[in-house]
Amino acid sequence: MVPVLIAGDAHPALAHDIAKLAGTTLAPAQISAFADGESRIRIEADVRDREVYIVQPTSAPTSRHLMTLALLADAARAAGAARVGALVPYFGYARQDVRNHPGEPRSAQLAARVLRCAGVERIVTLDLHSPALESAFEMPLIHLRADELMLPTIRAWRLSDLSLVSPDAGGVKRAQRYAAALAVPLAVVAKTRPAIDVAATLHVLGEVRDRACVIVDDMASTGGTIAAAAQALLAAGAREVHAVFVHAVMAPGAVERICSSAVGKVVATDSVPTAPDPRVQIVPVAPLFAQALARIAGLGLLEPR
Active centre residues (catalytic): 191
Rounded (5°) CA angle 238-242-247:
140
Sequential DSSP letters for 50-109 = -EEEEE----SSHHHHHHHHHHHHHHHHHTT-SEEEEEESS-TTTT--S-SSTT---HHH
Contacts of 88 (CB under 8 A, 6+ apart): 56, 57, 58, 69, 123, 124, 125
Q: How far apart are CA 175 and CA 158, in angstroms?
A: 18
Q: Residue 89: which of 138, 56, 120, 122 has the closest Cα?
A: 56
Residue 155 phi, psi dihedral angles, 5° rounding: -60, -35
Residue 54 phi, psi dihedral angles, 5° rounding: -105, 130
State the virtual CA torsion across 143, 305, 43, 81 in degrees, nearest 10: -60
Q: Is 56 exposed, middle or buried (0-12, 13-18, 19+ CB in 10 A)?
A: buried
